[in-house]
Amino acid sequence: MILQILLFFIGLSLILIGANSLVDGSSSLAKKMGVSEFVIGLTIIGIGTSAPEMVVSLIGSVKGNADIAVGNVLGSNIFNALIILGVTSFIFPMQISDRNKKKDIPFLILTTLLVIVLGINHTLFGIGKNSLGRIDGIVLLLLFVFYIINSFRIKNDDQPDSDQPIKLRKTGVSVIMILLGIGALVLGGNLFVDSAVNIAKYLHVSDKFIAITILAVGTSLPEFATSIIAATKKRGQMALGNVIGSNMFNLLWILGCSSVIHPLSFDKIMPMDLIMLLLSAVVILTSAFMFKKKQIDKFDGMFFLAIYGCYFVWLVMNN
């Protein structure tokens, strides 16, 4: 038990160290490359912090367990949008640029809607099966490549970067910091989740509660820690880009790859989960118009957390 507690805090420490290294290395690289903090958050950080989701979903797909592959992505996206952005907004407001409002967030909403339609096309239209097939997966992968290429065409002055000074480092050093940061996040996340599960079992906590809480949150810890660290450094656009990029990567790349390996059935996915998945994308856009326009602030954050709280209660009652 003492060993598990020790591993728990080692894992937590690695997550925080990794997040700090990833944010600092990415900020320096963004400045060197002349691209916005949002784009770096959207691509390098968003993809890097989604490594746990990718591993879990791909393993689930290889083993033919669609419930794990699909459920992991859906749960992670909902948590990312509602909890991570909700908590982050209390630390530092995240500005929403005109491009975010007109292109990035609407594309996330359309992508989410596309995945839902493809996944339950039999229920909606009476054709095919309620699953993502290999052709669906190829379509999702092509969309991801298109979006990433298009993202790097964003001019730096299109996005409202932080006015906080950035410590410039050599490009090689920045890349090493990013890689070490991602590695520490993944390793720390695994240690944190494994030890937390063992401690919970020792305390006789039910497997159902462990699955709903620790395991569901575990794969989102890298995004959570990175967004929090970015917010403390007043890099709100990087935090927002991290969540949008991670959610886009989950939907297009992870589900795309997983469905190419093995068709992913949506038969056991409940309608409420799909509704929450779409809602979690839509509420990000509403923040551009609610309360204080063009930013996600603490008022939006409270709204996000309240929505997730209701969903969590529903999960506990229906699992």
State the CATH number of the domain containing residue 196.
1.20.1420.30
Please list the residues that pair with 95 across neighbouring strands: 295
- Tell me how many degrees the CA angle 7-47-253 measures, rounded to the nearest 5: 115
How far apart, in whole angstroms, are the C-alpha atoms of residue 19 and residue 153? 26
- Please count the residues of the chain: 319
What is the number of other CB atoms lying within 10 angstroms of the CB of residue 29?
21
For the record, the structure tokens of 83 come out as: 């909890």
Q: What is the pLDDT of residues 181-195, one digit of tens each?
A: 888 877 887 787 777
- The total domain count for the chain is 1
Whole-angstrom CA distances from 103 to 76, 109, 154, 267 are 22, 10, 11, 32
For the record, the structure tokens of 140 come out as: 């999702």
Terminal CA-to-CA distance of the chain, rounded, Å? 28
CA nearest neighbour of 12 among 179, 178, 196: 196
Q: What is the pLDDT of residues 279-311, one digit of tens each?
A: 999 999 888 776 556 788 888 899 999 999 999
Sign of the CA dihedral 80, 108, 231, 298?
negative
Place of tokens 């079992």: 201
CA nearest neighbour of 238 among 51, 36, 83: 36
pTM: 0.82
How far apart, in whole angstroms, are the C-alpha atoms of residue 64 and residue 85? 32
Place of tokens 């699992």: 319
Residue 38 has pLDDT above 90, yes or no: no
How far apart, in whole angstroms, are the C-alpha atoms of residue 83 and residue 97? 21
Which residue segment(s) compose the domain that 111 sits in? 2-317
Q: Please, are residues 245 and 46 in contact by the beta-carbon 8 Å criterion?
A: yes
- Tell me how many degrees the CA angle 92-96-99 measures, rounded to the nearest 5: 150
Sign of the CA dihedral 213, 214, 216, 222?
positive
- Check residue 157 and give its pLDDT: 46
Q: How confident is the model at residue 213 (pLDDT cuts 50, 70, 90)?
A: low
Residue 114 has pLDDT above 80, yes or no: yes
